[in-house]
């Protein structure tokens, strides 16, 4: 039994594997209700052990996701290279390192009461392991891209059978993740949280600053390697991402959060997205040539850029791509545990005959019908309980009639995406649903796109997924990490956009499923497979029977700034805070208008820090 842990930076998590198979994996934020919680994942560990039915004394190894001594080496040397600049940041960081982070073995033993062996792979080894070992490939190239681990910011290599080998890497401060985060910061979004907003904003802009970025901020080579012009960045020594030189380049200081988004922000988003995609495509071509592999595995925070992933699949040299659904540091808990099993213990690896060995990332907690029933009755909440066939038909009818559904079913997802276990569902055919769900359910910016979930067997009826490639009959995107485009037969004629602010284009009807069609006809799709998600598949099938449409809106079950819900109590609280119409807890249906008046001690907006 191996316990994998990531902690103390952001998105702390725990993963438990038995005989090489993942038993459970969860992020601490789901329990603490603090988004991107970096603290030791004590509650996540306890939940993993409970699912496995074991105690910490039955765990043989703990695998921590990175080498703290190497990370300290990078911090110390970075300061020495820039001293005395950055002295304040260095002084602030040192006490925490000297007291806690350099003595992680001691901290882990104290937190867990663990007496066994603790092993630490390198940060990028954990990332690479998280993508290759669960993948369906006997051998593959891997590419890891993030902000920074110990020193590495990008690395690639080959996985074969039970071994992975990093063949080449880029080191700090030259980082694609930090470059993208610098623009996230400059455009007024939160670093390590708001990068997906920048990606969603990009289609509203024009990539007019691509040459400016390539001429002044980054020296990009044909093989995808690069160096940043560090005089324009401040992340190496300061508490901000960009410097005065960066600000002068684009003619203003960083946008303040929650202030109006300008055309400059949109154009910068489009430009850095275009540069990021170009870098990834160049690197992929180089890796393909260097390794001769036909398949590619992706991990690290940059691998959550599903727009780039879609282009890489359609235009890149690899036949197949598999992306770790928890690509950020949370997924490194899984990677660290698998690295120890395969690489350190040299255990044989057997491929599964299914999509992959990630089990659709349904690796979290689950609440039984008895648990849910007890919770609802103990609080006298009105509900109706139905058999599955009647339930899915009833809910499909609700959605077809414009109702918004909170859907809580089965094991919680591992990773940042709601994949149909802790989701909010709606009708993608509605012209108003995107605005309704953004403003009245999620309470977030109106430009933010929603993702479609589609029956896997119908994906090509709605989305262009192959580009110029020969169609792959086994294509799937079960983790919402690939962007395709609406097929032309489903599109409406472009009107050139509405007058006024570009962001008002969000209200334009662009396809037969306008609520999930972004302004450039793109969509971050999730394919739903009968074998992996049988109940969700039945729900979409019932909706298709009523409407002829085999697509639903799927967004995460939370309000803005809140982690995705973990428990029935979390789900009910979120349901009552919003204008959702129905809550489905397993086989139980709750109607909003029948619930008692809900009063909280304080406004949730004062509880959750906006992202």
Give the predicted TM-score (pTM) of the model: 0.94
The pair phi, psi for residue 321, each rounded to 5°, is -130, 135
Position 99 scores a pLDDT of: 60
Mean pLDDT to the nearest integer, 259-275: 97
pLDDT > 90 in the chain, percent? 80
- Three-class SS state of 237: coil
pLDDT of residue 497: 47
Place 441 in a pLDDT band, splitting at 50, 70 and 90: confident
544-578 tens-digit pLDDT: 999 999 999 999 999 989 999 999 999 999 999 99
With beta carbons less than 8 A apart as the criterion, state whether 337 and 16 touch: yes
Look at residue 469 and tell me whether its pLDDT is greater than 90. Answer: no
Task: Report the pLDDT value the prediction gives residue 436, as an integer from 0 to 100.
Answer: 85
pLDDT tens for 111-120 read: 999 999 999 9
Average pLDDT over residues 276-289: 98
Q: Rounded CA gap, 396 and 431, in Å? A: 18
What six digits make up the tokens of 367? 């609440």
Q: Is the pLDDT of residue 362 over 80?
A: yes
Predicted confidence (pLDDT) per residue in 506-540, tens digit = 778 899 999 999 999 999 999 999 999 999 999 99
| CATH number at 1-121 | 3.30.420.40
Q: What is the DSSP letter of 203?
A: G
Residue 578 has a CB neighbour count (10 Å cut-off) of 21
Q: Per-residue pLDDT averaged across 447-471, rounded?
A: 91
Least-confidence region, from 85-99, 143-157, 416-430, 457-471: 85-99
Longest alpha-carbon distance in the chain: 69
Does the domain made of 135-323 have the CATH classification 3.30.420.40? Answer: yes
Provide mean pLDDT across the span 158-167: 98
Task: Tell me if 450 sits within 8 A of 483, measured CB to CB.
Answer: no
pLDDT at 92: 66
Domain ranges of the chain: 1-121, 135-323, 369-596
pLDDT one-digit tens code per residue, 342-358: 999 999 998 876 779 99
* Domain 369-596, second-level architecture: Alpha-Beta Complex (3.90)
pLDDT in tens, 189-220: 999 989 999 999 999 999 999 999 999 999 99
Q: Mean pLDDT over all residues of the chain?
A: 92
Domains 135-323 and 369-596 belong to one CATH topology = no
């Amino acid at each position: 039994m191996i316990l994998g842990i990531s902690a103390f930076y952001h998105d702390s998590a725990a993963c438990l594997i038995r005989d090489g198979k993942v038993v459970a994996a969860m992020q601490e934020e789901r329990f603490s209700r603090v988004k991107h919680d970096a603290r030791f994942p004590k509650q996540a560990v306890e939940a993993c052990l409970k699912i496995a039915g074991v105690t910490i004394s039955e765990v043989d190894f703990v695998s921590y996701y990175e080498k703290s001594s190497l990370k300290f080496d990078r911090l110390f040397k970075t300061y020495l290279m820039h001293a005395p600049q950055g002295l304040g940041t260095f002084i602030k960081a040192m006490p925490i390192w000297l007291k806690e982070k350099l003595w992680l073995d001691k901290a882990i033993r104290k937190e867990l009461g663990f007496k066994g062996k603790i092993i630490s792979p390198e940060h990028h080894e954990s990332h690479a392991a998280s993508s290759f070992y669960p993948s369906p490939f006997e051998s593959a190239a891997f590419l890891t891209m993030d902000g920074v681990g110990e020193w590495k910011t990008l690395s690639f290599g080959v996985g074969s059978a039970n071994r992975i080998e990093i063949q080449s890497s880029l080191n700090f401060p030259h980082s694609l993740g930090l470059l993208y985060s610098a623009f996230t910061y400059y455009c007024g979004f939160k670093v390590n949280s708001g990068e997906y907003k920048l990606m969603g904003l990009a289609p509203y802009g024009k990539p007019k600053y691509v040459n400016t970025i390539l001429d002044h901020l980054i020296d990009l080579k044909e093989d995808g390697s690069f160096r940043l012009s560090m005089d324009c960045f401040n992340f190496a020594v300061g508490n901000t991402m960009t410097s005065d030189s960066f600000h002068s380049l684009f003619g203003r200081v960083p946008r303040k959060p929650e202030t109006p988004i300008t055309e400059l922000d949109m154009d910068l988003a489009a430009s850095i997205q275009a540069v990021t995609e170009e870098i990834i495509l160049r690197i992929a071509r180089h890796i393909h040539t260097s390794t001769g592999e036909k398949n590619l595995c992706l991990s690290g925070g940059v691998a959550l850029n599903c727009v780039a992933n879609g282009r890489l699949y359609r235009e890149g040299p690899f036949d197949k791509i598999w992306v770790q659904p928890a690509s950020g540091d949370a997924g490194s808990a899984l990677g660290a545990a698998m690295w120890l099993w395969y690489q350190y213990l040299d255990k044989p690896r057997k491929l599964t005959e299914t999509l992959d060995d990630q089990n659709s990332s349904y690796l979290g907690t689950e609440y039984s019908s008895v648990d849910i029933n007890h919770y609802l009755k103990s609080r006298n909440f009105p509900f109706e309980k139905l058999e599955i066939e009647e339930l899915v038909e009833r809910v499909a009818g609700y959605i077809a009639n414009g109702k918004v559904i909170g859907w809580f079913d089965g094991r919680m997802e591992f990773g940042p995406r709601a994949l149909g276990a802790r989701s909010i569902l709606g009708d993608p055919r509605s012209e108003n649903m995107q605005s309704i769900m953004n403003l009245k359910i999620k309470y977030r910016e109106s430009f933010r796109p929603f993702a479609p979930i589609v029956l896997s067997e119908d994906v090509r009826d709605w989305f262009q997924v192959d580009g110029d490639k020969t169609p792959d009959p086994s294509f799937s995107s079960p983790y919402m990490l690939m962007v395709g485009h609406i097929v032309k037969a489903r599109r409406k004629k472009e009107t050139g956009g509405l007058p006024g602010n570009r962001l008002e284009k969000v209200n334009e009807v662009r396809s037969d499923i306008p609520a999930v069609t972004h302004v450039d006809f793109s969509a971050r799709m999730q394919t739903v497979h009968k074998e992996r998600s049988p109940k969700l598949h039945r729900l979409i099938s019932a909706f298709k029977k009523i409407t002829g449409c085999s697509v639903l809106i799927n967004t995460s079950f939370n309000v803005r700034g809140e982690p995705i819900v973990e428990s029935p109590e979390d789900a009910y609280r979120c349901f009552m805070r919003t204008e959702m119409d129905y809550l489905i807890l397993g086989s139980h249906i709750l109607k909003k208008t029948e619930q008692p008046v809900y009063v909280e001690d304080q406004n949730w907006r004062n509880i959750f820090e906006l992202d």
